[in-house]
Chain A
């Protein structure tokens, strides 16, 4: 009797374990644990323009338009959009869309969102930069809305891809804290907010009332693991199924690991050198070949700028320093983007011609320069400036290199303290007007142009072309002008492009991911291999 009882118990325990295991497998199979490489600063989608936040927001919220994987605008909550006159955009909104709280999505929500965006208190990086051109909102009917701009402004649809829509039922001025607690974290996105532990994770469940393609995952755990080694180890140990920003040093090894699959694409982030154009007289970090003071700034001479550009062996940097995780660049955007100029290849390496150009410019013996860069911001940033230092020294420009921590570096760069320095730029709009307006247009606070033109490059001809481009409504015609402007900037060596980074994601070998040019990691785009 006793024996039988034990046997029965054993049977029950085994059965219980099996059931438990099956249930767990079922739950585990439908759960995606993913790792972000930087902490999010808020769940409030209008608080801080910051890529990790945008990644999270893409799960919970939708915008009127979305960016596809190649960063071209596609329909989302708006089904179609058109100019009704030069200054008015009319958007037809998708019908039958529900928010996570059950409320129906209408034009009212769009108006409410556009009204809130510029008024989020204490925002360290406001989304108002995307809504500012819109000066009037008119609700035509519940599923039609008109947006008026002050001047002709063709980029409204692109700017709207950055603005997450929230329901108007949240009341007047919903607080950022209430998004973090989940009370206000209500969108129309494919996942519903469950919980947020700052610095650790956000838990989300699939929203079954979602209007778009149903995501595979029932539950998503969005973890924050900034340490590169720890993130890779977590993927290898199987704790995490999907990680972003695979370090270039690990990518080569992971490619041969059977447990792991990598997805990569060329990013919209360009790494480039800025040259001091703000001084006609001596620039702080350039002296003559023997250390003597110079009476002029060599970087103002177009020939010197070109010499410095063609002295850089871009394919070598891409291959050796970046270990293949980049492509050489000759302009802002990677090939395939809207307004990419096909006749602008990366400048070819030519040390002999570089020396000749220097001699023509009056520097047959070169000069001394200090090249500055951050050492904790962009992928392999400190190693890149070291390689360039060697390449420049080879053409007679004796280069010393200084890597500085980002928080100090960027403050000094903003004060024009350097002569030549490395920076990066991600074009969130996926087209050239964005870098043209911010990086190379003449610095002009009144017009809001050239805000991060730290070298203070200025070319009235280029400014005129940029003005023309952003007031050309027709997409094809505008693309032509943008290409023309890009070509002008590059021919004049307004800055020295180096390479476009690649974004690399790592995941379990049984998963696939649609790699995105904008660096966002989205669980809805992760699916099992068919």
Chain B
């Protein structure tokens, strides 16, 4: 267990280092943030002052060295645009993205698994067929389009839900959350639904495929012959066997929902990390981009770790390390 963890950790550090080098070189090749940020009316002297103020007059290797040195001390630099520590900036936006992602993943579990079970057990029923057909739409329609359609229908035409922004928030553990207020929940409904549609479809199809595969296995027949109730056969025995791929996908999807909720966040003007990162890329705000990517790498590694640990719970045959 310890060696396994240690190996994972070393891998993670290596991934982060490679990523920072790529970002540094990549952004340097694209352009210069000063060109974008500075007032076009600034004269040459003012431009030189701004370049020096952001430390961009140093050679790239030196900028990278300074960054690493700062990173070792827990300082990932200050945003060029906002003049705030990059970590603090991202941390401020994180709750908004987190609650959206968690809600979206919860929705996909709560809606996707039961529907998938139903469709798997009753593949020829009308509801089963409709669900399967609908799920194709779920992951083939582009998110930005679905988002705008949701706004058009529920906000503009029907006027049921607000179209944009985060709504009222309440404090819990020193952080502002919108799921604690009615207004906040109303604001969260459309973006969360938009974000979860693809995941619902994915979870649903995986569950259905698993049920179809397992329902004819010997152990199911045996359980039935033993006289177990159909509910117990499906919910305990079949479920246990189909959950491994589902958990893997949910884990991965949770990570990508957090990292790549950019589209949904910009369509719904949701002030989360996704919107911050896209704005930062547009103006080449390097400290924020690097810090964000580091957080995401860390997040994926943690999620994969948790998924691996969950496997051992779900399937006792799985071992974390190969014993020689």
Contacts and interface: CB of A to CB of B under 8 A. Distances in A.
Interface stretch (B13-21, B30-38, B134-142, B225-233): B30-38
Interface stretch (A62-70, A225-233, A393-401): A225-233
A26 interface: no
A122 interface: yes
B43 A237 contact: no
Contacts of A81: none
A458 to B, nearest CB: 15
Interface stretch (B4-12, B47-55, B253-261, B302-310): B47-55
Contacts of B163: 230, 233-234, 237, 239
Given A411-B31, A411-B35, A451-B44, A198 B152 contact: no
B269 A224 contact: yes
A36 to B, nearest CB: 10
A201 interface: yes
A11 B53 CA distance: 67
B155 interface: yes
A124 B279 contact: no
Contact of B83 (A122, A233, A236, A451): A122
A3 interface: no
A94 interface: no
A230 B269 contact: yes
A227 B41 contact: no
Nearest to B49: A126
A209 B189 CA distance: 41
A411 B83 contact: no
Interface residues of A, number: 58
Nearest to A411: B31
B44 to A, nearest CB: 4
A52 to B, nearest CB: 12
B42 interface: yes
A445 interface: yes
A48 interface: yes
Interface in A442-486: 445, 448-449, 451-452
Which residue, of A200, A408, A410, A434, has the highest number of chain B Cβ atoms within 10 A? A200
Interface string B259-280: 0000000111101000110010
Given A224-B269, A410-B35, A448 B44 contact: yes
B154 to A, nearest CB: 9
Given A200-B166, A201-B165, A128 B46 contact: yes
B82 A428 contact: no
A412 B41 CA distance: 18
Contacts of B284: 407
Nearest to A224: B269
Interface in A199-220: 199-201
A49 interface: yes
B37 A233 contact: no
A452 B40 contact: yes
A414 interface: yes
Contacts of B50: 123-126
A414 B37 CA distance: 14
B45 interface: yes
Contacts of B271: 197-201, 224
B269 A225 contact: yes
A410 B155 CA distance: 38
Interface in A44-66: 47-50
A438 B46 CA distance: 13
A31 B133 CA distance: 46
Interface string A146-188: 0000000000000000000000000000001100100000000
Contacts of B148: 229-230, 233
A443 to B, nearest CB: 8
Contacts of B166: 197, 200
B282 A406 contact: yes
Contacts of A47: 83
A20 to B, nearest CB: 14
B208 interface: no
B204 to A, nearest CB: 28
Given A124-B50, A201-B165, A229 B267 contact: yes
Which residue, of A121, A238, A239, A426, has the highest number of chain B Cβ atoms within 10 A? A239
B245 interface: no
B25 interface: no
Contacts of B45: 445, 448
21 contacts: A41-B81, A124-B33, A124-B81, A126-B50, A198-B82, A199-B271, A199-B276, A200-B166, A223-B164, A226-B266, A226-B269, A227-B269, A230-B148, A230-B151, A233-B151, A233-B163, A237-B159, A406-B36, A407-B284, A448-B46, A449-B43
Interface of A: 35, 39, 41-42, 47-50, 121-126, 128-129, 132, 176-177, 180, 197-201, 223-227, 229-231, 233-234, 236-240, 376, 406-408, 410-412, 414, 425-426, 428, 434, 438, 445, 448-449, 451-452
Given A122-B78, A125-B39, A445-B44, 19 more contacts: A41-B81, A49-B42, A122-B53, A124-B33, A124-B50, A125-B38, A126-B42, A129-B42, A177-B84, A180-B84, A224-B271, A227-B266, A231-B164, A237-B162, A407-B31, A411-B30, A434-B41, A448-B46, A449-B43
